[in-house]
Amino acid sequence: MNVKKQSMDNESYFSEFLLLEFSDVRELQILHSIIFLVLYLATVTGNLLIISAVALDHHLHTPMYFFLMNLALQDLGQVSVIIPKSMVNSLMNTRYISYSGCVAQVLLFVSFMASDFFLLTVMAYDRYVAICKPLQYGILMNRQTYIQMISSVWISSFFYGVLHTGGTFASPFCSNVVNQFFCEIPQILKLACTDLYLVEVGVIVISAVIGIGCFIFNIITYGYIFTAVLKIPSTEGRQKAFSTCLPHLIVYSLFLFPGFFAYFKPTFSSSSHLDWAFTVIYSIFPPLMNPVIYSMRNREIKNALSKLLGLRHSSMKNISSLIRKGKFFI
């Protein structure tokens, strides 16, 4: 396939981009495709189970699980934007993605990533109110409030994605070779011919300030939460509170730190293989691990999944016990 381009004043306009090739060895390309297929199917299955469990079990129709269901929806969208294209490219021994396809990847991926980040912050506030102000929870987190929160997350995330997409593609490009397995913003900005890419750099810096602000908010919030949890007199009460908070902190850390490294590291400090590895960690592993982390640490989710899958609760307890003892590995 020939790449169409039009040159003007040393600036090139491409109709297609070339994504990073996992390997030029055919057997390794097929292996890459199979690995990504397994990761994708595992992610889709896990998140669909969470969505189904929350939707079908009326005991889980609370703000916390409503947020968790939306997190699963966003995780499904995030992996569906990037994995299938990379998988098909390896299988078909090609590297191409259309210009419009690249724009769509940036828009949707950034939107889903932003919605994940905003939603995790909202979930921290929900846990704060539930644990630190339990008597006011029904008033502060009523149905209208949490629906407005979710709507705000989805709408603001979409406009955030539009802003990043506009800044990323504002400049013409001098090359169409993207050094990543999907259209990732830092790699696309390296291809810019003019200083217009600085607009997107400014947007990223502003995003970092917002991200740091959310991170500080989460740290302060969980400081209050853990202080309140330690004051709970019963051991069972403390365990229940920790079981709803620790998964959120694990997911938040798994999502935030690799992504921060991928977007703010010096361009000369790492190889393409290290870039690839960190991108996989922040873009694929959180959606894959979220259902596991939440289902294994949350009794209500485990009960709902056991009902959904037709398993007895005692069987789920035995499985959880075996996993904790190291008999099974996930």
State residue 59's pLDDT score. 84
Which pLDDT tens digit goes with each residue over 24-59?
888 989 999 999 999 999 999 999 999 999 998 888
**pLDDT of residue 306 exceeding 70:** yes
Q: Quote the CA–CA distance of 65 and 71 in Å, as a whole number.
A: 9
Q: Is 304 exposed, middle or buried (0-12, 13-18, 19+ CB in 10 A)?
A: buried
- Crossing angle, helix 285-297 and helix 272-283, to 10 degrees? 40
Residue 282 maps to a domain:
yes
- Provide the CATH number for the domain around residue 231: 1.20.1070.10
- 70 domain residue, yes or no: yes
Q: In this structure, is residue 111 part of a structural domain? A: yes
330 inside domain: no
Question: Domain tally for the chain?
Answer: 1
Task: Note whether residue 254 is domain-resident.
Answer: yes
Predicted pLDDT at 264: 65
The better pLDDT of the pair 330, 96 is held by 96
Asked if residue 253 belongs to a domain, the reply is yes
Which pair of structure tokens corresponds to residue 295?
A: 């289902």
- Tens-place pLDDT, residues 118-138: 998 898 899 889 888 988 998
Claim: this prediction has a pTM higher than 0.95:
no
* Domain that residue 298 falls in: 14-321
CA distance 248 to 315: 25
Rounded percentage of the chain residues whose pLDDT exceeds 90: 31
In a domain, 158, yes or no: yes
Residue 231 backbone phi and psi in degrees, to 5: -90, -10
Q: Are 173 and 14 in contact (CB under 8 A)?
A: yes
Q: How confident is the model at residue 48, as a pLDDT?
A: 94
Asked if residue 67 is part of any domain, the answer here is yes
